[in-house]
Amino acid sequence: MTTPQPVNNPKSPGAVSAALLALLGHERFLTDNQSLQHYGRDWTRFAAPAPSGVLLPNTISEIQAIVGLARQHGIKLVPSGGRTGLSGGAMATNGELVLSLERMRKILPVNKAGRSVTCEAGATTAQIQQAATKEGLMYPVDFASSGSSQIGGNIATNAGGIQVIRYGMTRDWVTGLKAVTGTGELLELNQGLIKNNTGLDFRHLFIGSEGILGVIVEATLALTDPPRNPRVMVLGIQTMSALMQVLANCQAQLTVLAFEFFSDLALEKVTNQHSIQTPFQARHPFYALVEFESTSTAAETQALQVVEACMASGWVNDAVLSQSESQRRSLWRLREDISETIAQWTPYKNDISTTVQQAPELLSRVDAVVAQHYSDLEVVWYGHIGDGNLHLNILKPDGVSVSDFQDRCKGVSAHLFAAVQKLRGSISAEHGVGLLKKEFLRFSRTEAEIELMRGVKAQFDPDGIFNPGKVFDP
């Protein structure tokens, strides 16, 4: 058994370790190297994890006690969920203690009359979806990491995913929150109410806050009806502007659940890596994946007519329509497997957005920057084009160190984000700011806004113990 080491350079390291051991025991206060490496990082690989310990509380009262110790001894805490983030928001790189919610997974029985479910923050997205499905309902925020991402982290980053065009972001489904602030106070926000017009709603400050105000410990989520007979089309498309024409026509005539896009290189990487059959014999610069409700023969006929009209207009070169649930899932893999597939190249990810109508211009402007600075590298495009969100991934070539690659990419990022800024877009549509993008926050937020953010943090976390160095510097 490993003896816990002094943590985070506190004022009284021995006293802190003894207090944490008394509170959590050796099984829930971890300091072995394997645990530190595992819990100290998220899906980013551009900074080395260096926490001093990992805390695994079972209850809200234990979290409050931990916060009390942190305040007393000057300890810093990094809230940790499923650690599937892509901006370094859950990285512990400077001796912090990782506060993991993974043991707090309780899901209360679904409230069918209220169409809601209350759960602890460590419950995974997939577990919540499964609980809703058993009652004939659905939690609609969905993404490839749903099996490992935790709802507390989803809320802290206002996660989006593949069906934002129909169902919106995580923010739209959170009706109540419990959070422990940097003072140790437990806030119970909105209590699951649909209507509550009684002043400022602090719930929305915690949604998307990336753990800098405190730690989310419980959530009440709204549920909805599942889609009826979803079908998937994959379309081969020549240009980005044509993609937007197809989107407009699909939205006007179909009940669209998702509208995703990916580049030919993205398709090539996925099909080669996973031995998945490509949907077309010919290759196309872009592909659109359209999921829609097909509730009748007439609805399917309407979808085919939309595709035929788009082909007649020259926007679509080829198309395939799922004929079964297994085919629908296979076609989705072409899009959902991209991020996992390209992870082996340690990609430098840019998660940018603008208004839907400006998405082609954004891609054109950013593509010009890419052509100028990355002509020797592989570039993978994909994203949620139906809500204006583009994912640009620069793949690290063999033989180049991660640090050198990151330095090169960070040098180009200012040019990329300047293009985003000109269209009044966002440098982080859904991944958050974390460590990796905080120096570029000024491209999406004014100095006045950033200063106000600092003021808000000071109110909820006056000692600065939660997630230090993330989003902005003190």
At residue 433, does pLDDT exceed 50? yes
C-alpha–C-alpha distance, residues 59 and 42, integer Å: 23
Given a contact cutoff of 8 angstroms between Cβ atoms, the answer to whether 178 and 60 are in contact is yes
Element (H, E) at 293: strand 286-293
Res. 12 pLDDT band, cuts 50 70 90: low
Q: Annotate 203-230 with DSSP letters as a single string.
A: HHHHTT-TTSSEEEEEEEEE-BPPPSSE
| 328-365 pLDDT per residue, tens | 999 999 999 999 899 999 999 999 999 998 988 888 89
At residue 162, does pLDDT exceed 60? yes
Nearest CA among 51, 55, 123, 63 for reference residue 91: 51
| 62-116 pLDDT per residue, tens | 999 999 999 999 999 999 999 988 899 999 999 999 999 999 999 999 999 999 9
pLDDT of residue 11: 60
C-alpha–C-alpha distance, residues 230 and 54, integer Å: 42
pLDDT of residue 4: 44
Q: Annotate 78-105 with DSSP letters as a single string.
A: EEESS---SSSTT---SSPEEEE-TT--
Q: What is the dihedral of CA 366, 352, 473, 57, to 10 degrees?
A: -150
Q: What residue ranges in 238-310 does DSSP mark as E strands?
A: 256-263, 286-293
CB atoms within 10 A of CB 464: 15
In Å, how far from its chain's centre is CA 188?
24
Mean pLDDT of the residues in the chain: 93
Mean pLDDT of 173-195: 97
pLDDT of residue 360: 85
Mean pLDDT of 295-307: 93
Helix and strand numbers, DSSP H then E, in the chain: 15, 15
Which percentage of the chain shows pLDDT scores above 90?
83
What 3-state class would DSSP assign to 346?
Answer: coil
C-alpha–C-alpha distance, residues 406 and 396, integer Å: 9
Using only the alpha carbons of the chain, give its radius of gyration.
23
Q: What order of strands is seen across the sheet that includes strand 29-30?
A: 29-30, 53-55, 97-100, 77-80
Given a contact cutoff of 8 angstroms between Cβ atoms, the answer to whether 416 and 350 are in contact is yes
Q: Which residues of 215-228 are buried (b: 16+ CB within 10 A; e: fewer)?
A: bbbbbbbbbeeebe
C-alpha–C-alpha distance, residues 234 and 215, integer Å: 40
At residue 168, does pLDDT exceed 80? yes
Global pTM reads: 0.92
Q: Which domains does the chain have, with CATH numbers?
A: 13-102 (3.30.43.10), 116-222 (3.30.465.10), 230-339 (3.30.70.2190), 346-456 (3.30.70.2740)
Given a contact cutoff of 8 angstroms between Cβ atoms, the answer to whether 128 and 81 are in contact is no
Helix axes 60-73, 13-24, angle to 10 degrees: 180
pLDDT of residue 176: 98
Strand 214-222 with 174-181, pairing: antiparallel
At residue 7, does pLDDT exceed 80? no
What 3-state class would DSSP assign to 131?
Answer: helix
Res. 45 pLDDT band, cuts 50 70 90: confident
At residue 13, does pLDDT exceed 70? no
At residue 374, does pLDDT exceed 80? yes
Given a contact cutoff of 8 angstroms between Cβ atoms, the answer to whether 98 and 37 are in contact is no
